[in-house]
Amino acid sequence: MNNHARFRAFDRRTLLKGTAAAAAGMLIDPAFAATAPQASPGKGAKLVLLGTKGGPRVGGKRANPANALVVDGNAYIIDAGLGVTAQCVKAGLNLADIRAIFISHMHSDHELEFGNLVYNIWAAGALHRPIDAYGPAGLEAMAADFWRLNHMDIATRMVDEGRVDPASLLRTHDFIARQGHVMTQDGVSVTAFTTPHPPIEDLAYRFETPHGSIVITGDTAYNPALADFARDVDVLVHEVLYVPGVDELVKRAHGTSTFRNHLINSHTTAEQVGMIATRARAKKLVLTHFVPGDMDWITDDMWRQAVARHYKGEIVVGRDLMEVPLRG
Ligand SMILES: [Zn+2]
Ligand SMILES: [Zn+2]
């Protein structure tokens, strides 16, 4: 069985268990977390799109922003929008396999479930070793605030259930450089790049793995320098905005031209995403963080065609729980 096939076999098995847990009405089945296969989960690297809708609104066919990168059985979470834990379970990911969490920026659609994700791993009995979390300035304070917010429950469970303090198993790191090395672990090397997302900034992450490379932009205004950071990457995962959809979004929200300008100026249009992917010489482009992400009249073909005006490579219009191998 080749690596790719082994990966798929593993996915099916864990997916069935995850689905059974979800069907039983449990957010996390502790037995699933504890007994999921530990040995040799398969070599390879794949992206799992956990939530593909841009913005904090809940509902519709897409979940809030979150991604998992699985490399040789180790999982790395990039962004933790509301619902990230449930999406991990639906995707058949073993919570005990999560090694690190990366937050792109401090907008709630990307970090609302950051603390809860770590809590949920702990509550499932799957937090066996320290997890590292990386993000912009403010993430360390957010982690400290989260433990304070939940101290009554945690203290009770520590006494009642003999659990270890979860705060001691989360190492949070504010990334304050403009660009540079973030971490190297288990053959995976990560760098970050600061890109404008007015009025704040965003960290794009680049992962180099033994099975290919991937850049995940987070939210960004059109930024050609980001293409240089993503040069020759195997998979470029880029946020995307569809201008005719934004006009309808503004109308629906009774928004002003200020609201429209904010959206256009802080995100990247589908046409501009094509330009970035071409300049980066990306081998494959994955669209996610759709704005708007809840209008059915915007078809996959419409997203694809807008991007394809400026990019001739492979375009994947992302969907929740879709898996994309880094190579092949
Ligand atoms: Zn966002
Ligand atoms: Zn944002």
Q: How far is C-alpha 316 from the chain's CA centre?
A: 16
- pLDDT tens column, 114-163: 999 999 999 999 999 999 999 999 999 999 999 999 999 999 999 999 99
What is the sign, positive or negative, of the torsion defined by CA atoms of 105, 108, 114, 115? positive
- pLDDT tens column, 263-275: 999 999 999 999 9
Residue 237 Cα distances to 70, 145, 194, 207, angstroms: 15, 31, 16, 12
Q: Which of 54, 49, 47 is nearest to 240 (CA)?
A: 54
- pLDDT tens column, 213-265: 999 999 999 999 999 999 999 999 999 999 999 999 899 888 889 989 989 99
Residue 168 Cα distances to 165, 171, 289, angstroms: 6, 8, 33
Backbone angles phi, psi at 306, to 5 degrees: -65, -40
Report if pTM > 0.85: yes
Look at residue 178 and tell me if it is in a domain: yes
What's residue 303's pLDDT? 98
Look at residue 214 and tell me if it is in a domain: yes
**Distance in Å, CA 314 to ligand 1 centroid:** 24
**Distance in Å, CA 49 to ligand 1 centroid:** 14
**Distance in Å, CA 168 to ligand 1 centroid:** 29
**Distance in Å, CA 155 to ligand 1 centroid:** 33
**Distance in Å, CA 193 to ligand 2 centroid:** 15
**Distance in Å, CA 151 to ligand 1 centroid:** 29
**Distance in Å, CA 40 to ligand 2 centroid:** 37
Quick one: tokens of 275? 């330009």
Q: What is the mean pLDDT of the chain?
A: 90
Look at residue 34 and tell me if it is in a domain: no
Separation CA 24–CA 32 (nearest Å): 12
Separation CA 25–CA 101 (nearest Å): 26
**Distance in Å, CA 182 to ligand 2 centroid:** 21
Quick one: tokens of 39? 């040995």
Which residues span the domain enclosing 293?
3-28+42-325
Nearest ligand atom owner, CA of 291: 1
Report every protein residue that has its C-beta within 5 angstroms of ion ligand 2.
Answer: 107, 219
Report every protein residue that has its C-beta within 5 angstroms of ion ligand 1.
Answer: 54, 109, 219
**Distance in Å, CA 180 to ligand 1 centroid:** 23
Helices (H), the chain: 3-23, 30-35, 84-90, 108-111, 114-123, 139-149, 151-161, 224-229, 243-252, 257-266, 270-280, 300-308
pLDDT at 33 over 80: no
Look at residue 35 and tell me if it is in a domain: no
**Distance in Å, CA 113 to ligand 1 centroid:** 14
What's residue 90's pLDDT? 98
What's residue 41's pLDDT? 58
Tell me the CATH number at 172: 3.60.15.10
**Distance in Å, CA 290 to ligand 1 centroid:** 9
- pLDDT tens column, 72-112: 999 999 999 999 999 999 999 999 999 999 999 999 999 99
Q: What is the DSSP letter of 37?
A: -
**Distance in Å, CA 106 to ligand 2 centroid:** 7
- pLDDT tens column, 269-292: 999 999 999 999 999 999 999 999
How many domains is the chain built from? 1
Look at residue 172 and tell me if it is in a domain: yes
Separation CA 253–CA 255 (nearest Å): 5
**Distance in Å, CA 66 to ligand 1 centroid:** 10
* Mean predicted confidence (pLDDT) in 296-315: 97
Look at residue 36 and tell me if it is in a domain: no
**Distance in Å, CA 105 to ligand 2 centroid:** 7
Nearest ligand atom owner, CA of 105: 2
Judge if the upstream peptide bond of residue 292 is cis by omega within 30 degrees of 0. Answer: yes
Q: Which of 75, 142, 132 is nearest to 110 (CA)?
A: 142
